[in-house]
């Protein structure tokens, strides 16, 4: 998974580089760290779901908590607003939409302009 994770993180950061966020180069290492944490959490959730140790609702709550934590951490960086943080997170997740579906059968649905939802198939 390490090689796949590295590729996915690169894919997520490449998508974010196309955004017009000032000081992206100084933010990029922090975003990469947050993306790595997200991928690790998604992998853990998927494993727990397969072992039937976690319900779909619990998985959704864990994902929401992790996204909120990511947003808070990104907002501590200079010049990052809540909209910028949401945009970074959503762009990163959106860039790996196909991979999440093919590997985990999770569907990503755009709910609002500033939020993406990950729906987990029962």
pLDDT digits (tens, 9 = 90+) for 16-32: 999 888 889 999 999 99
CB 72 within 8 A of CB 89: no
Contacts of 81 (CB under 8 A, 6+ apart): 75
Q: Report d(CA 39, CA 8) in Å as an integer.
A: 8
- For residue 48, the enclosing domain spans 2-16+25-120
For tokens 């991979």, name the residue: 99
Model pLDDT, residue 3? 67
pLDDT tens by residue, 48-102: 988 999 888 888 889 889 999 999 999 999 989 998 999 999 999 989 888 877 7
This prediction has a pTM of 0.82
Domain count for the chain: 1
Tokens of 91: 């762009």
């Amino acid at each position: 998974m390490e090689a796949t994770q590295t590729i996915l993180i690169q894919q997520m950061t490449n998508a974010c580089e196309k955004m017009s966020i000032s000081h992206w180069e100084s933010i990029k290492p922090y975003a990469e760290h947050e993306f790595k944490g997200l991928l690790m959490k998604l992998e853990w959730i998927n494993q727990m779901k397969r072992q039937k140790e976690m319900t779909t609702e619990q998985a959704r709550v864990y994902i929401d908590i992790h996204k909120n934590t990511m947003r808070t951490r990104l907002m501590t960086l200079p010049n990052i607003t809540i909209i910028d943080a949401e945009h970074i997170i959503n762009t990163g997740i959106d860039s790996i939409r196909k991979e999440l579906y093919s590997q985990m059968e999770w569907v990503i649905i755009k709910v609002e302009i500033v939020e993406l939802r990950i729906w987990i198939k029962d």
